[in-house]
Structure 1
Amino acid sequence: MKRPVLFAVVASLAASLTACANSPLGQTAERSLAADPRLENNPALFAPNPTQAELPADFPSEIPRYPNAQLQTVSPLAEGEPGQLTRWTSPDSAAQIEQFYQAQFQANNWQLVEATPDSEPNTLAARRDDLQVKVSWETAQAGENAPTEFVLKYLEGEPQAVVSPAPSPSPQPQNPAVANETPEQLRQYVQDLTALGIFDNETIQPNEMMTRRQYARWLVAANNRFYANSPGRQIRLAATTAEPTFQDVPRSDRDFAIIQGLAEAGLIPSALTGEATAVTFRPDAPLTREQLVLWKVPLDTRQALPTATVEAVEERWGFQDASRINARALRAILADFANGEQSNIRRAFGYTTLFQPQKTVTQAEAAAALWHFGIQGEGLSAADIQSLDRPSVTQAN
């Protein structure tokens, strides 16, 4: 009895399916159960991911590599051009990528090429010796989560092949008008740092106020230029993915990598150095005298600052207003006294019995402080760096 019932059920189901096959619902069900033709025609969907592209073994180590990017392709340039064109993708924004390369080029002795009306849009060009680099990025993406694509092209050789117009590789002479505006005692410092390219393409206004942002930029550029051959003495720029230390210097800020790098190195007061109230950097505020010394002296001594008191600073320097100096800055000012004639205070401000810790620093005074790094007898001056550069230039010619 059970077997006929089973046959009846099966027959009934078959009839139902046959009846539905011609209906819209049945056709939909049939399509949903059918094999996907894309799987038959495109077996690569089941294939493992292709091998990730790799940089050539001779990729110049001095070219900065964006840390949060994946290399897609590497292709040679036109025949006879010694270089490569590399394509990358990153989950970060185009602004973050641009900011990273801008900061890296400024801090590592690259010469940025100024954009002209004929320059390619969304492109950053730089040169270092005979190495030319162009970074180009896409700003418009098809979707909200689409990665940013950018191209890094480098050429070793003739600069005109990469950047146009190509700037002169020799330092630009000091603008006579600027030289005449600079106080005589500070003129040589400004000229020497200009010759080293520390100010990049900025127009120096020697008697104008120095901002905190600008001093941070010059400080990193000068230190890393002086110690270009000593990686252990260079200030490392922060990664663009780092958690911002200051509320007013987000990752999108053009100087984020520099300012964040100084904070992470403990060279400027922040929450990282135990200053719980230092939650803002105030990048466009004027730089004060005590801040100039506080940020610079650790790069001279390369050791912990000494314990200091108001009385000790009064005794050494003879400052009548030592009691008005910030307690943290007192330590740097006392250490600066031990540097003799190479102290930042003597070089930037000359002889004085009033330090005026909150007085605004001029651009020429900031340049004077950055003219020399290190302790007396063992440091390096901008003039020394120029002398060290000359033999290599002569040999190259």
Structure 2
Amino acid sequence: MLPLKRLPKRLFLLGFAVALLPLASCANSPLGETLQRSLAADPQLEENPVLFGGTPTPEATPDGVAELPANFPAEIPRYPGAELVEVIQPNGDNPNAEVQTRWQTSDPIEQVRRFYQEAFASDNWNLDQSVEEAIAAARDGLRVTVAPVSNAATLTAATPTEFTLQYAFTSDAAVSSELTNSPRNSASDNSTSDNSASDDADETAAVPQPGDPDFIGPVPPADFGTDANSDAAARPTSQRFSDLDQAPEELRQYVTDLAELGVFGDQASNEFKPNQEITRREYARWLVAANNLIYGDRPASRIRLGNGSSQPAFQDVPRNDPDFAAIQGLAEAGLIPSPLSGDSTTVTFRPDAPLTRENLILWKMPIDTRQTLPNASLEAVQQTWGFQDTARIDPKALRAVLADFQNGELSNIRRAFGYTTLFQPKKTVTRAEATAVLWYFGIQGEGLSAKDALQTEQRTEQQTERPPQQQPASQQSNQQPNQPSGSQSR
């Protein structure tokens, strides 16, 4: 039976008219007038369609598009191309209550499940294997559950796939999420000052720091602070490692020079672990540090670091990530694929995943050439390098690999891997191999190495420490400004 409020108005009145036919003869009587007034339409009901205590229809979002909550945690990966359909907010003001979002995509649910499983696993989330069908993960007090809708098994290939993403966090994680998604920490009600320095200090204190039990990630180098872009920023101290004898002999000097230059920062351990896989975040950090230290006297050649007011380029590298400055700086400079460079499918960086050979070259070559990479094809790379596995190289990396060949003996591939007929693009890179690539920046005749930077630094220090030589007045009058002693003016 249809609800009463859904009956057409005419049918509703017709029923009453039939019931009142016997009273028609009394229309002109006092009883008839009373009945007419009692059955007249209520003007309030005409303006308000809610009948008999019913619930009003929720208001639609602007343009009918659902919007994520303002405090949606940035560390939760979002499936590429998925459309947000609905957001169900919990009742009340409890910040720890679970929020449910519903998404739609044309991809099969197995592909969605595989994406989230890999994204959570590569970003140090703890996966709950006891959950069937759905994927549940937790990290830093934040719990996320991704599950297909109830009728996903009956969907056809032409029907869009729908899945829900639910999340809930503890009070500590909620505070951290607010700090991540807002440019200022507004939690302090006691302060009436608009001092931005104190706001930044409060935000930093709320984020886990190195040494805290909740801290995740390596310790950032000393030059990645707020003033890292400044000429007055202090250079990290040099460091000597006790395990360089484990590195291939051809690569030891590269590690030594970069360590003396301070590229690796102030590490607590004196072990370099040269044969250990390097992560994507470590390479990004070293890449920026090496370039900026080697080009220390050339501000125009440095890579600017991302700052705390920037919108994160990647969903899995929030502003409180220890390597946000370097990764964001590379993305904003267009040196690595990201949505900022037009690559809308690369929404995550996977900072803790191992670095592959093709990405090692892909990220480095744009900094070497300082110009657009040449067009490349499989045939061109095959003819130049002669790699047997050229077809396995990602199309994005082909241009970088071809440009690297044009650098001759200063090629990154030759310096890191020596002579080889197999590039093995998906093979992971060791820490020692990465240093070989980062030891030199530029192209033939227009580049600088870490050794060059050290020699320049030593000359500068010697000139600073050497006291000026006093010369007779007769010689001083004949010598040009800034001309070395003993040279003749022209």
TM-score by length of 2: 0.49
User: Using the alignment, how far apart are the partners of 2:416 and 2:288 within structure 1?
Assistant: 18
After superposition, the Cα gap between the structure-2 partners of 1:248 and 1:228, relative to the gap in structure 1 and judged at 3 Å, is same
> Is 1:90 matched with 2:165?
no
User: Using the alignment, how far apart are the partners of 1:106 and 1:322 within structure 2?
Assistant: 43
> Is 1:249 matched with 2:314?
no
Aligned to 1:366: 434
Q: What is the 5 A alignment of 1:22-37?
A: none
> Is 1:205 matched with 2:311?
no
Q: Which portions of structure 1, spanning 4 or more consecutive aligned residues, are displaced by more than 4 angstroms?
A: 95-102, 105-110
Alpha-carbon shift at residue 96 of structure 1 (Å) = 8.4
> Is 1:128 matched with 2:128?
no
Aligned to 1:297: 365
**What SS does structure 1 have at the residue aligned with 2:354?**
coil
Q: What is the 5 A alignment of 1:147-226?
A: 171-172=238-239, 174-175=240-241, 177-202=242-267, 203=269, 204-226=272-294
Alpha-carbon shift at residue 108 of structure 1 (Å) = 5.4
Aligned to 1:35: none
Contact 2:222/2:266 (CA < 8 Å) preserved in 1? no
Describe the superposition over 1:311-353 as per-residue Cα deviations: whole angstroms up to 9, x where unpaired.
Answer: 1000000001010001010000000000011110000011100
The runs of 5 or more residues in structure 2 that have no matched partner are: 1-182, 186-194, 210-219, 466-490
User: Using the alignment, how far apart are the partners of 1:300 and 1:248 within structure 2?
Assistant: 27
> Is 1:324 matched with 2:324?
no
After superposition, the Cα gap between the structure-2 partners of 1:244 and 1:96, relative to the gap in structure 1 and judged at 3 Å, is farther
Alpha-carbon shift at residue 247 of structure 1 (Å) = 1.0
* 1:231 maps to which of 282, 290, 299: 299
Alpha-carbon shift at residue 106 of structure 1 (Å) = 9.1
User: Using the alignment, how far apart are the partners of 1:396 and 1:101 within structure 2?
Assistant: 24
TM-score by length of 1: 0.60
After superposition, the Cα gap between the structure-2 partners of 1:363 and 1:107, relative to the gap in structure 1 and judged at 3 Å, is farther
User: Using the alignment, how far apart are the partners of 1:370 and 1:106 within structure 2?
Assistant: 23
Aligned to 1:313: 381
Alignment root-mean-square deviation, CA: 2.9
After superposition, the Cα gap between the structure-2 partners of 1:93 and 1:324, relative to the gap in structure 1 and judged at 3 Å, is same
User: Using the alignment, how far apart are the partners of 1:338 and 1:191 within structure 2?
Assistant: 27
The runs of 5 or more residues in structure 1 that have no matched partner are: 1-66, 70-85, 111-125, 130-168
> Is 1:357 matched with 2:467?
no
After superposition, the Cα gap between the structure-2 partners of 1:229 and 1:102, relative to the gap in structure 1 and judged at 3 Å, is closer
**What SS does structure 1 have at the residue aligned with 2:197?**
strand
State the number of aligned residues: 259
Alpha-carbon shift at residue 275 of structure 1 (Å) = 1.5
Contact 1:96/1:252 (CA < 8 Å) preserved in 2? no
Aligned to 1:142: none
Alpha-carbon shift at residue 390 of structure 1 (Å) = 1.1
- Between structure 1 and structure 2, the one with the greater Rg is 2
> Is 1:341 matched with 2:409?
yes
Describe the superposition over 1:8-38 as per-residue Cα deviations: whole angstroms up to 9, x where unpaired.
Answer: xxxxxxxxxxxxxxxxxxxxxxxxxxxxxxx
User: Using the alignment, how far apart are the partners of 2:418 and 2:354 within structure 1?
Assistant: 20
Match for 1:200: what amino acid? G
Aligned to 1:104: 225
Match for 2:277: what amino acid? M
Whose relative contact order is higher, 1 or 2, with alpha carbons under 8 Å and at least 6 apart?
1
Contact 1:196/1:386 (CA < 8 Å) preserved in 2? yes
Over the matched positions of the two proteins, sequence identity in percent amounts to 57
Q: What is the 5 A alignment of 1:255-274?
A: 255-274=323-342
**What SS does structure 1 have at the residue aligned with 2:346?**
coil
Contact 2:295/2:453 (CA < 8 Å) preserved in 1? no
Aligned to 2:61: none
After superposition, the Cα gap between the structure-2 partners of 1:259 and 1:87, relative to the gap in structure 1 and judged at 3 Å, is closer
